[in-house]
């Protein structure tokens, strides 16, 4: 048995404990030790994730590098891990983004002047970086879990460190009511997601009871999906739809899908840029990933039954999120609403139930994570210099900080899916896959692309071009550390936009397997074959 997946989960968890336990103190040397320790742990996690992705064989079994350890034997609950192509790319995305987030947030947890011995001086830096590592560990377990109960535990557990990151380490440009707004955003985030989790728990218990009644008393995902496919586990259609809705509701809150999205703009707006990246580029991806793995795998008939309604909600989310992004005055809330629109595309690709749509949705999870991280982090650098999130406070930045303006433009162009940048490939596949089965919805969704161009280019025009505003004069350009943060994200955006094959090779077998579970095939093309003159075909 390989222990690679367990190590990939345990290293950041152990690193979180180690970072939190480092000697307290307010000196720069101790803070630097804390940061370097956390960064080293995240680098080690990245190395393990890269090895796992390299060892994965696209032509092999659906789940590979599997591990299983007995946990609660009386209920058939195990600590079971396994990686498929979709999980491999999302674990790799998480492992890439966490050290970048740490570098970008290098000074975000530095304590303000406070009396010696208070929390602000003693534990703030350790707490911040330990929480980031805790989130990474829990997200990775969620992507690797092949036990339904194990997934549920970590799906819920990641809410706790995220709650403290949002509420305890907020945006310093939030104004005089920042603390109250952070508290509101953190509580809203927690309550929404806890409600979703409680509904899911009821569905998890219901699934176990039904399986137990038919001699399949297990939480093992592979056993359950095989029993459903073979007819050994038969779920009544009404019960299956109820269970599907219990799982889907939790995932739609996490994703988030309209109209369950309202916690996201508050959480991202009041968080540091690094925490906002963790929310939208890492944690929220667990929701869309789980739709593919659990909703479609465990409830294939219910997934097909609810697919049209979910597609309508997705298209509403695409247009709604883009329209609200156009009207935003706050930079980070604009990016939050843009992400709501992008999650609509992802969910639309999943429930179009075509190979192009689901491959595009999986690529979209990765590409949205990379491009939005770049846009958000550069926006965070911009906001930290000016001390304001309001778009109206900026203007002429490109004249005083051209590198900052240039990288901000690249992030915006990637968000609007410019050809040649990574999100274009995934958005194109989602639209093609949707149009082949639901042409009207595919056509309506394309208006989201037009609106994306509007909000991204107008934001750039209002902040970066025109006369230099008084508050922008003397603004410093990106520093070496900040360039080191943005450069790999820009490089990945360009590379995956030109050559997405490494990702498609990994995800396509898992996508095909998922489609077979729901008994779906791609619609056959319906193009008449033209006959040459004389009635003979070529």
Here the tokens at position 84 are: 């498929």
Position 524 in a domain = no
What does the pLDDT read at residue 58? 87
Position 32 in a domain = yes
User: What whole-number distance in Å separates Cα of residue 242 and Cα of residue 203?
Assistant: 8
What does the pLDDT read at residue 348? 94
Nearest to 507 by CA among 37, 75, 227, 90: 90
Nearest to 448 by CA among 329, 339, 296, 287: 339
Cβ–Cβ under 8 Å, residues 161 and 41: no
What does the pLDDT read at residue 530? 55
User: What whole-number distance in Å separates Cα of residue 402 and Cα of residue 523?
Assistant: 48
Position 525 in a domain = no
Position 535 in a domain = no
What total of structural domains would you count in the chain?
A: 1
Cβ–Cβ under 8 Å, residues 105 and 128: yes
User: What whole-number distance in Å separates Cα of residue 373 and Cα of residue 489?
Assistant: 8
Here the tokens at position 439 are: 């042409």
Nearest to 317 by CA among 193, 184, 418, 441: 441
Position 526 in a domain = no
Place of tokens 């095939």: 521
pLDDT tens-digit profile of 382-406?
998 888 888 988 988 999 899 999 9
Nearest to 392 by CA among 466, 297, 318: 466
pLDDT tens-digit profile of 2-17?
789 999 999 999 999 9
Position 533 in a domain = no
Kindly give, in sequence order, each residue whose CB lies less than 8 Å from that of residue 438, ignoring residues fewer than 6 positions away.
Answer: 308, 311, 352
Place of tokens 């998480």: 94
User: What whole-number distance in Å separates Cα of residue 538 and Cα of residue 535?
Assistant: 10
Q: What stretch of H or E contains 255?
A: none
Here the tokens at position 418 are: 């410019």
What does the pLDDT read at residue 117? 47
User: What whole-number distance in Å separates Cα of residue 324 and Cα of residue 158?
Assistant: 28
- DSSP summary character for residue 471: G
Place of tokens 């970086």: 129
Angle at 420 between CA 416 and CA 423, to 5 degrees: 45
What does the pLDDT read at residue 26? 61
What does the pLDDT read at residue 537? 43
What does the pLDDT read at residue 131? 94
Q: Rounded to whole angstroms, what are the CA distances from 458 to 96, 331, 334?
A: 30, 11, 11
Which residues span the domain enclosing 410?
4-517
Cβ–Cβ under 8 Å, residues 464 and 456: no
Residues of the chain with pLDDT under 70: 1, 25-26, 111-123, 171-178, 524-538
Nearest to 97 by CA among 144, 55, 133, 65: 133
- DSSP summary character for residue 256: T
Cβ–Cβ under 8 Å, residues 19 and 36: no
Position 522 in a domain = no
What does the pLDDT read at residue 538? 39
pLDDT tens-digit profile of 168-226?
887 666 555 667 788 888 899 999 999 999 999 999 999 989 988 888 778 888 888 88
pTM equals: 0.90
What does the pLDDT read at residue 324? 93
Kindly give, in sequence order, each residue whose CB lies less than 8 Å from that of residue 27, ignoring residues fewer than 6 positions away.
Answer: none
Here the tokens at position 379 are: 């926006």
Position 271 in a domain = yes
User: What whole-number distance in Å separates Cα of residue 240 and Cα of residue 203?
Assistant: 10
């Amino acid at each position: 048995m390989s222990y690679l997946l367990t190590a990939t989960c345990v290293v950041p968890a152990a690193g979180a404990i180690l970072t939190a336990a480092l000697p307290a103190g307010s000196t720069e040397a101790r803070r630097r030790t804390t940061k370097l320790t956390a960064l080293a742990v995240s680098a080690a996690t990245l190395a393990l994730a890269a090895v796992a992705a390299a060892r994965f064989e696209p032509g092999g079994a659906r789940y590979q590098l599997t591990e299983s350890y007995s946990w609660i034997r009386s209920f058939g609950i195990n600590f079971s891990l396994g990686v498929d192509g979709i999980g491999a790319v999302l674990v790799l995305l998480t492992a890439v983004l966490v050290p970048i987030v740490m570098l970008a947030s290098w000074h975000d947890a530095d304590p303000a002047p406070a009396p010696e011995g208070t929390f602000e001086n003693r534990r703030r830096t350790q707490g911040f970086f330990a929480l980031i590592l805790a989130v990474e560990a829990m997200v990775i377990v969620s992507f690797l879990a092949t036990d339904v109960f194990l997934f549920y535990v970590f799906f819920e557990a990641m809410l706790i460190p995220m709650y403290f990151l949002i509420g305890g380490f907020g945006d310093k440009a939030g104004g005089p009511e920042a603390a109250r707004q952070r508290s509101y955003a953190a509580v809203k985030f927690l309550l929404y997601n806890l409600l979703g989790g409680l509904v899911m728990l009821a569905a998890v218990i219901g699934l176990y009871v039904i399986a137990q009644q038919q001699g399949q008393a297990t939480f093992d995902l592979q056993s359950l999906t095989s029993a459903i496919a073979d007819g050994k586990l038969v779920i009544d259609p009404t019960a299956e739809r109820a269970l599907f809705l219990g799982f889907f509701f939790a995932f739609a809150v996490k994703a988030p899908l309209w109209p369950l999205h309202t916690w996201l703009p508050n959480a991202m707006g009041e968080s540091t840029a690094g925490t906002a990246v963790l929310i939208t580029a890492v944690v929220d991806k667990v929701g869309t990933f789980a739709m593919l793995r659990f909703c479609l795998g465990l409830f294939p008939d219910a997934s097909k039954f609810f697919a049209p309604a979910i597609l309508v909600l997705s298209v509403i989310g695409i247009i709604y999120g883009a329209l609200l992004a156009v009207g935003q005055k706050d930079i980070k809330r604009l990016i939050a609403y843009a992400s709501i629109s992008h999650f609509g595309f992802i969910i639309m690709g999943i429930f179009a139930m075509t190979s192009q749509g689901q491959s595009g949705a999986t690529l979209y999870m990765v590409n949205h994570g990379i491009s939005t991280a770049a846009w958000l982090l550069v926006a965070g650098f911009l906001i930290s210099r000016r001390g304001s999130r309001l778009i109206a406070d900026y203007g002429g930045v490109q004249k005083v900080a051209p590198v900052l303006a240039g990288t901000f433009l690249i992030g915006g162009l990637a968000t609007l899916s410019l050809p040649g940048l990574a999100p274009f490939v995934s958005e194109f596949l989602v639209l093609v896959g949707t149009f082949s089965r639901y042409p009207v919805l595919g056509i309506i969704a394309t208006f989201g692309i037009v609106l994306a161009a509007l909000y991204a280019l107008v934001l750039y025009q209002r902040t970066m071009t025109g006369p230099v505003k008084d508050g922008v004069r003397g603004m410093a350009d990106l520093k070496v550390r900040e360039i080191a943060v943005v450069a790999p994200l820009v490089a990945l955006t360009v590379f995956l936009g030109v050559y997405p094959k490494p990702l498609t090779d990994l995800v396509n077998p898992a996508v095909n397997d998922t489609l077979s579970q729901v008994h779906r095939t791609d619609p056959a093309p319906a193009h008449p074959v033209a006959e040459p003159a004389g009635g003979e075909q070529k």
